[in-house]
């Protein structure tokens, strides 16, 4: 049973118990406060010490209402709740215990353990799936790197968050479309073209051209600081591109092909997938109808020769649709793309996993959409307002420095991944030189370290990338979880019995084992929490807890101070523990996959 369901049950049985213990008060106020399950639910807290239970209700808040002392209230209500639970079939899990002025909710392990192990072991990788999504369309846009520039570390964060969200919403039953919206249009291509023509002779436009192209771009910016006419030249080149000049278009297509090959290679290394690769240029013929629509809605104005929408939120600057020279902008393409996606998918939600630096841009276009839908008086079902989310995230810093392409002090994503794989390889050889698939395992671990390092920090916060930290096999890292997973696999390999959920739950009665069972029961909630917060971090943190809790079982000592081995001569106990092992292995593996990591079976 999920924790949320348990919480509801506990709230319901406690509210009922309050009614029975305090009938006089109930008669006067009816289904309010402690007598209302929703009220009890909202007042439940999570105890700091998990041993106390899953939830607790501080009863001293109700002293005035009930005219009774806290320990009395707690003791009477707990006894009544448990009496109820003992007689009701569907409340079997939510036992109550009174500790001072608190009512603590504890799961009855004789029920929770077989139920949870049974569910995990029978459902396997489908444990935690839900039908919440009901196959509704869910759009997640991520990566969205710019062509003719190498993919930098900033795009890494978007890529790994989005890739994981795509997997999480799939698990919840949505029809997810993972989108890569390439930055393949805009004035910067004018700059690229000018730079290539001036200094690019001899730069072969082949698979290795991305870094030389970046050098050209940086060189352009340096030169344009001295000589402003270069900027004008770039504007003209871009105009020609917009007009479809064949020679310039040919160059642009080459830049694009080079970048696409490079991006594909990096996505493959990372194990990242998309369902739709598109880009800004795709909207070239879709902007005019949108502009006309906004004009018809009476939302546009001319300001200094430019076409703008003045927003009804005074904190936001006007949204620029067309420059005085008739050129369109990033926001014009964004708006057209929003409308296109809504018309095509009628999505349940549409996420944009893009750094916080673009927060205003997303607010602006969302505001324009809201004003448009309002002006047109669209029915609720035809409005996308409220369904579009900018999933922003903080910076990635290396030694406290942020990176910028313009200045050329960029850290290449590919170099980061390669370095991680090399370091992982060294560590594996040191730990387990006998391992057969060293290269393959090093790739899984190096990549996993980089991904997990991004996802284990709440997305709003900055990530400080430190090599020693992300690759530490003992710290709060991807490799630590992968290592735990491999260790569980090896226990399974070494066990000669067959593993089944039909075990005696009383044999998993150590506090360490109970904690693991409770965490296993929590997995569906962790996935749902991540989905609700648009942040895979909830799953990452959950896995660290589960891994840590299992390692306590693994290292548990018996009364004589010896390690209490999972597999021992006690066959019944070994069978119970191996069911736990397999359940933990199943959940860690599924959790890692949801985050976009691989789960090697040996390392
Ligand atoms: N290409 C942009 C950049 O690298 C990000 C695009 C984000 N997505 C969007 N729909 N605007 O800065």
What tens digit of pLDDT does each residue of 170-188 get?
999 999 999 999 999 988 8
Q: CATH code for 444-595?
A: 1.10.730.10
Arithmetic mean of pLDDT, 367-383: 98
Residue 177, beta-bridge partner list: 139
Q: Is the CB of 220 under 6 A from ligand 1?
A: no
Q: Is the CB of 354 under 6 A from ligand 1?
A: yes
417: nearest Cα among 129, 199, 150: 150
Q: Phi-psi category of 124—alpha, beta or left, where left has phi over 0 and alpha has psi -120 to 50?
A: left
Residue 139, beta-bridge partner list: 177, 350
Q: Give the pLDDT of residue 405.
A: 47
Q: How far apart (Å, rounded) are the C-alpha atoms in residues 34 and 30?
A: 10
Q: Which residues of 545-580 are buried (b: 16+ CB within 10 A; e: fewer)?
A: ebbbbbbebbeeeeeeeeebebbeeeeebbbbbbbb
Q: Is the CB of 538 under 6 A from ligand 1?
A: no
Output the CA 556–ligand 1 centroid distance in Å. Answer: 50
Which pair of tokens denotes residue 122? 């029978």
Q: How far apart (Å, rounded) are the C-alpha atoms in residues 540 and 527?
A: 10
Arithmetic mean of pLDDT, 239-267: 93
Whose C-alpha lies nearest to ligand 1, atom 11? 334
Coil, helix or strand for 320?
A: strand
User: Sign of the CA dihedral 415, 419, 425, 428?
Assistant: negative
Examine the pLDDT at 542 and tell me if it is beyond 90: yes
Q: Is the CB of 141 under 6 A from ligand 1?
A: yes
Examine the pLDDT at 500 and tell me if it is beyond 50: yes
Q: Is the CB of 259 under 6 A from ligand 1?
A: no
Whose C-alpha lies nearest to ligand 1, atom 4? 145
Is the CATH number 3.40.47.10 carried by domain 3-107? no
Total-model pTM: 0.91
Q: Indicate the range of 197-211, 296-310, 359-373, 473-487 predicted with least confidence.
A: 197-211
Coil, helix or strand for 330?
A: helix
- Each domain of the chain, given as residue ranges in start order, spans 3-107, 444-595
Examine the pLDDT at 235 and tell me if it is beyond 60: yes
Examine the pLDDT at 400 and tell me if it is beyond 60: no
Q: What is the CA radius of gyration of the chain?
A: 29
């Amino acid at each position: 049973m999920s924790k949320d369901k348990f919480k509801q049950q506990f709230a319901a049985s406690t509210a009922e118990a309050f009614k029975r213990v305090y009938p006089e008060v109930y008669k006067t106020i009816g289904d309010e406060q402690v007598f209302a399950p929703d009220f009890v639910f909202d007042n439940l807290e999570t105890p700091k010490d998990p041993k106390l239970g899953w939830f607790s209700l501080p009863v001293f808040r109700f002293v005035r209402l009930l005219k009774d002392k806290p320990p009395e209230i707690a003791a009477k209500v707990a006894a009544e709740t448990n009496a109820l639970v003992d007689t009701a079939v569907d409340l079997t899990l939510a036992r109550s215990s009174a500790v001072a002025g608190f009512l603590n909710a504890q799961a009855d392990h004789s029920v929770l353990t077989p139920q949870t192990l049974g569910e995990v072991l029978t459902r396997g990788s489908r444990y935690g799936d839900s039908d919440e999504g009901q196959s509704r369309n869910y759009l997640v846009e991520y990566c969205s790197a710019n062509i003719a520039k190498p993919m930098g570390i900033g795009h890494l964060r978007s890529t790994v968050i989005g890739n994981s969200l795509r997997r999480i919403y799939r698990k919840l039953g949505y029809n997810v479309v993972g989108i890569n919206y390439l930055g393949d249009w805009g004035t910067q291509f004018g700059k690229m073209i000018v730079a290539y023509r001036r200094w690019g002779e001899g730069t072969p436009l082949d698979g290795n051209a991305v870094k030389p192209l970046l050098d050209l771009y940086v060189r352009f910016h340096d030169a344009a600081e001295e000589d402003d006419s270069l900027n004008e030249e770039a504007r003209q080149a871009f105009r020609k591109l917009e007009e479809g000049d064949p020679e310039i278009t040919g160059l642009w297509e080459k830049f694009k092909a080079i970048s696409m090959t490079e991006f594909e290679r990096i996505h493959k290394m990372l194990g990242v997938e998309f369902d739709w690769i598109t880009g800004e240029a795709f909207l070239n013929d879709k902007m005019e109808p949108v502009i006309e629509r906004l004009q018809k809605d009476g939302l546009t104005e001319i300001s200094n020769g430019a076409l703008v929408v003045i927003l009804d939120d005074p904190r936001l600057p006007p949204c620029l649709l067309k420059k005085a020279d008739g050129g369109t902008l990033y926001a014009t393409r964004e708006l057209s793309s929003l409308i296109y996606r809504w018309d095509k998918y009628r999505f349940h939600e549409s996420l944009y996993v893009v750094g916080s630096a673009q927060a205003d841009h997303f607010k602006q276009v969302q505001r324009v959409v809201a004003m448009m839908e309002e002006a047109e008086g669209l029915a609720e079902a035809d409005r996308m307002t409220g369904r579009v989310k900018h999933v922003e995230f903080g910076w990635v810093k290396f030694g406290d420095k942020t990176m910028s392409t313009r200045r050329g002090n960029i850290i290449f994503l590919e170099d980061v991944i390669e370095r991680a794989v090399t370091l992982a390889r060294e560590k594996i050889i040191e730990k387990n030189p006998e391992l057969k698939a060293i290269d393959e395992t090093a790739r899984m671990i190096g990549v996993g370290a980089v991904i997990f390092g991004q996802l284990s920090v709440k997305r709003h916060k900055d990530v400080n990338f430190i090599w020693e930290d992300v690759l530490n096999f003992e710290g709060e890292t991807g490799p630590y979880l992968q290592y735990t997973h491999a260790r569980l696999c090896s226990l399974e390999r070494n066990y000669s019995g067959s593993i089944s959920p039909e075990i005696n739950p009383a044999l998993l009665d150590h506090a360490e084992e109970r904690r693991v069972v409770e965490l296993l029961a929590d997995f569906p909630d962790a996935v749902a929490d991540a989905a609700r917060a648009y942040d895979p971090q909830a799953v990452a943190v959950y896995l660290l807890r589960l891994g840590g809790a299992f390692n306590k079982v693994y290292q548990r000592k018996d009364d004589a101070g010896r390690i209490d081995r999972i597999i021992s001569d006690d066959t019944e106990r070994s069978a119970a523990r191996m069911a736990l092992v397999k359940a933990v292995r199943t959940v860690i593996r599924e959790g890692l996959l949801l985050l976009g990591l691989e789960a090697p079976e040996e390392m």
